Amino acid sequence: MAAEVLGQLALIIVVTVNVVSPGRGLVTSGQGDFSGTIVLDRGHTRLSVPGTGPYLVETESGDVISRARSYRQGAEILAARGGYPRPAVTVEIEHERE
């Protein structure tokens, strides 16, 4: 989807976080060019790693690339790694219901 901003076309990408279980979200891009996982590090405390979030951000190959404070921030980190700057990213979070 493209949006016109000040006479220029800017790409808007939708990134979906599908929360499949408590503390685990699967991330996919609407373009299909990147994916990853956001996992709650249950051993994390604010004192153990100051200034970081409790979620590990993993690439599709399982490499941990960062920490995040939320699913949304983790999705933005993965999008930035895929070449999409923050203003161009819309994050949708879906929770699995049984």
Q: Which residue has the tokens 């060019």?
A: 33
Handedness of CA 90, 72, 97, 61 (dihedral sign): positive
CA distances from 26 to 46, 62, 64, 80, 89 (A): 24, 12, 14, 16, 16
**Mean pLDDT of the chain, nearest integer:** 85
| Domain ranges within the chain, ordered by starting residue | 2-95
Q: Which H/E stretch holds residue 56?
A: strand 55-59
The pTM score is: 0.82
Q: How is residue 86 written in tokens?
A: 């923050």
Each residue's pLDDT tens digit, 6-31: 444 557 889 999 999 999 999 999 88
